[in-house]
Amino acid sequence: MRRLRIKELAGLGLSAIILAAGQGTRMRSDLPKVLQPLAGRPLLGHVLDCAAALTADDVCVVYGHGGEAVREAFPQDSLRWALQAEQLGTGHAMQQAMPGTPDDNRVLVLFGDVPLLTPTTCRRLVDGTPPADVAVLSVDMDDPTGYGRIIRDGGSVNRIVEEKDASPAERAVAEINTGVMVCPASEMKRWLDNLGNDNAQGEYYLTDVVAMAVSDGVTVHGIKAGTWTEVMGINDKKQLAEAERALQARLVDELMKQGVGFADPARVDIRGELKCGKDVFIDVNAVFEGNVELGDGTTIESNNLVRDSKLGPRTLVHSNCHIEGATTGNDCEIGPFARLRPGAELANDVKVGNFVEVKKSTVADGSKVNHLTYIGDAEIGAGVNVGAGTITCNYDGVNKFKTTIGDGAFIGSGVELVAPVKVGAGSTVGAGSTISKDVPENQLVLERSRQKVVPGWQRPAKKDK
Residue type at 277 in one-letter notation:
G
In angstroms, what is the C-alpha Rg of the chain? 31
- CATH architecture of the domain covering 6-231: Alpha-Beta Complex (3.90)
Mean pLDDT value of segment 305-334: 98
Pairing of strands 403-405, 421-423: parallel
**Cα(59)–Cα(131) distance, rounded to whole angstroms?**
19
Percent of the chain at pLDDT exceeding 70: 97
pLDDT tens-digit profile of 397-437?
899 999 999 999 999 999 999 999 999 999 999 999 999 99
pLDDT tens-digit profile of 178-193?
999 999 999 999 999 9
pLDDT tens-digit profile of 95-117?
999 999 999 999 999 999 999 99
Superfamily of domain 255-445: Hexapeptide repeat proteins (2.160.10.10)
Contacts of 95 (CB under 8 A, 6+ apart): 192, 195, 204
pLDDT tens-digit profile of 112-169?
999 999 999 999 999 999 999 999 999 999 999 989 999 998 889 999 998 888 999 9
Q: Could you tell me if 210 and 191 are in contact, meaning their C-beta atoms sit under 8 angstroms apart? A: no
- pLDDT for 462 equals 81
pLDDT tens-digit profile of 239-279?
999 999 999 999 999 999 999 999 999 999 999 999 999 99
Helix axes 185-193, 208-215, angle to 10 degrees: 110
pLDDT tens-digit profile of 42-78?
999 999 999 999 999 999 999 997 788 999 999 988 9
Residues forming CATH 3.90.550.10 domain(s) in the chain: 6-231
pLDDT tens-digit profile of 201-244?
778 989 899 999 999 999 999 999 989 999 999 999 999 999 99
Residue type at 234 in one-letter notation:
I
Pairing of strands 444-445, 156-161: unpaired
- pLDDT for 4 equals 43
- pLDDT for 165 equals 86
Mean pLDDT value of segment 342-360: 98
Computed over every residue of the chain, the mean pLDDT equals 93
pLDDT category at 438 given cuts 50, 70, 90 is very high
The lowest-confidence range among 167-171, 279-283, 410-414, 456-460 is 456-460
What are the residue numbers of the active site?
Answer: 371
- pLDDT for 254 equals 97
- pLDDT for 11 equals 55
- pLDDT for 57 equals 93
Pairing of strands 175-184, 106-111: antiparallel
Q: Is the pLDDT of residue 8 over 70?
A: no
Taking alpha carbons only, the member of 107, 134, 147 closest to residue 210 is 134
Cis peptide bond prior to 130, omega within 30° of 0: no
Mean pLDDT value of segment 296-307: 98
- pLDDT for 198 equals 78
Q: Is the pLDDT of residue 451 over 80?
A: no
Residues forming CATH 2.160.10.10 domain(s) in the chain: 255-445
SS3 string, the chain, reads: CCCCCHHHHCCCCEEEEEEECCCCHHHCCCCCHHHCEECCEEHHHHHHHHHHHCCCCEEEEEECCCHHHHHHHCCCCCEEEEECCCCCCHHHHHHHHHHHCCCCCEEEEEECCCCCCCHHHHHHHHHCCCCCCEEEEEEECCCCCCCCEEEEECCEEEEEECHHHCCHHHHCCCEEEEEEEEEEHHHHHHHHHCCCCCCCCCCCCCCHHHHHHHHCCCCEEEEECCCHHHHCCCCCHHHHHHHHHHHHHHHHHHHHHCCCEECCHHHEEEEEEEEECCCCEECCCEEEEEEEEECCCCEECCCCEEECCEECCCCEECCCCEEECCECCCCCEECCCCEECCCCEECCCCEEEEEEEEECCEECCCCEEEEEEEEECEEECCCCEECCCCEEECECCCCECCEEECCCCEECCCCEEECCEEECCCCEECCCCEECCCECCCCEECCCCCCCCCCCCCCCCCCCC
Taking alpha carbons only, the member of 358, 451, 370 closest to residue 410 is 370
**Cα(168)–Cα(421) distance, rounded to whole angstroms?**
83
Residue type at 365 in one-letter notation:
D
Provide the phi-psi class of 170: left if phi over 0, else alpha when psi is between -120 and 50, else beta.
alpha
**Cα(116)–Cα(290) distance, rounded to whole angstroms?**
19
How many residues does the structure list for the chain? Answer: 465
Mean pLDDT value of segment 293-302: 98
